[in-house]
Amino acid sequence: MGLFDKLRGELVDIVEWIDHTSDTLVWRFPRYNNEIKNGAQLIVRPGQMAILVLRGQLADVFEPGAYQLATQNLPILSTLQGWKHGFESPFKSEVYFVNTTQVTDLKWGTPNPIMLRDPDFGPIRLRAFGNFALKADDPTSLLKELVGTDASFEADEILELLRSMINTAFAEALGKSELAALDLAANYQVLAEKIRQDVIARVDDEYGLNIPQLLIVNISLPEEVEKALDTRTSMSVIGDLGRFQQYQMGQAMTAAAENPAGGGASEGMGLGMGFAMANQMMQGAGQAAGTAGAMPPPPPAAAWHVAVNGQTQGPFSIAQLAGGIAQGRITAATMVWMAGMNAWTPAGQVPQLAGQFSVAPPPPPPAS
């Protein structure tokens, strides 16, 4: 290789950037102390801009296109370099390429819950997360304020700052909106746009960045609040809680009657549920009568106890016992007791209950 071939090999004749990444914002052309040849080709692809820097000063800026680096294309650099009548020799200059396409699918989220005074639940804590996109809007401001002398500047290097700004804007927008927690889902787009404009006002002029898109994916309530909401929703679906309880007890009584293997235990459970149902029916009747005629409440009833399979059930009122007798769950031989009685006594022998049992009429007299 001759001397002139070696010198030509040290000169850069094509300056370009082929980016294989998706999040690099700024990339410096690796000159490695080589000089750029007079008339070299500068190729700026769509979604890029090129900035020439001479001795720490920003010089010429190039939009997408193909350029021949000569005096007519380098007015600022020619002035800084002192070329008054053009130049023929190679020159040294740093070339920075700026990615002007959108860097998408960047994540943001609240690292700590945000306190909110909710009209329905009182003070609650909310968390949120979403996505946003980033774009270099003013390459010169980006180069001066953030890049400096870095050979490569990635979006990750400014993500923490942007996420902090988004979280601050989100907290401010949430507080000023005074929206109830249950109304937030219907206002995701309004809140997201308010946050985006607030963040743009902070980063555009200072750093030359833009936020083309910002989305709120979810705003979540604390786990205990979500459980309370689920409970409230279930109660609303059930409707009349008293009728639902009667239905459940009726289903349980049917299941117990269809299970002959339960023996005395199932009979005792059925008797208890029968008393409970009778009690609810009597209470419902009393409430209806009280509502219609505004009658005074009845006097307190005596407390009765019933022996079932060696276990005591109760206390029950006389009305509940009457319901059990009517359903056939209390027979004349069922042992009962109440305060004032000397011992357990068959129900058929207790004056207050004897009249509840039907007595078969005697046979008619013979015909004469």
CATH number at residue 338: 3.30.1490
End-to-end CA distance of the chain: 153
Distance (Å, whole) CA 17 – CA 27: 8
Mean pLDDT of 153-177: 91
Residue 5: pLDDT above 50? no
**Is the domain of 32 the same as that of 66?**
yes
132-143 pLDDT, tens digit each: 999 998 988 888
Strand ranges inside 155-243, DSSP E:
209-210, 214-220
Last residue of a domain, one of 184, 204, 227: 227
**Is the domain of 262 the same as that of 343?**
yes
**Residue 147 structural domain:** 103-227
Last residue of a domain, one of 71, 99, 127: 99
Give CA separation, 358 vs 14, 83, 271, 354, in Å: 114, 127, 20, 9
What is the band of 168 on the pLDDT scale with cuts at 50, 70, 90? very high
Distance (Å, whole) CA 211 – CA 216: 14
Q: Are 103 and 74 in contact (CB under 8 A)?
A: no
Residue 272: pLDDT above 60? no
**Is the domain of 14 the same as that of 57?**
yes
Let me know if residue 221 belongs to a domain.
Answer: yes
Mean pLDDT of 46-66: 89
Residue 90: pLDDT above 80? no
pTM of the full structure: 0.58
**Is the domain of 209 the same as that of 309?**
no
Last residue of a domain, one of 99, 132, 161: 99
Q: How many domains does the chain have?
A: 3
**Is the domain of 201 the same as that of 267?**
no
Let me know if residue 164 belongs to a domain.
Answer: yes
194-212 pLDDT, tens digit each: 999 999 999 988 899 999 9
Q: What is the CATH number of the domain that holds 139?
A: 3.30.479.30
Look-up of token digits 């390429």: 97
Let me know if residue 359 belongs to a domain.
Answer: no
Minimum mean pLDDT range among 56-65, 128-137, 213-222, 320-329: 320-329
Distance (Å, whole) CA 115 – CA 127: 9
Q: What angle do CA 233, 238, 240 make, to 5 degrees?
A: 125
**Is the domain of 11 the same as that of 126?**
no
Q: Which two tokens stand for residue 173?
A: 């927008």
**Is the domain of 263 the same as that of 314?**
yes
Distance (Å, whole) CA 21 – CA 16: 15
**Is the domain of 127 the same as that of 82?**
no
219-251 pLDDT, tens digit each: 988 787 777 777 767 666 665 656 656 666 666
Task: Return the HEC string of 100-112.
Answer: CCCEEEEEEECCC
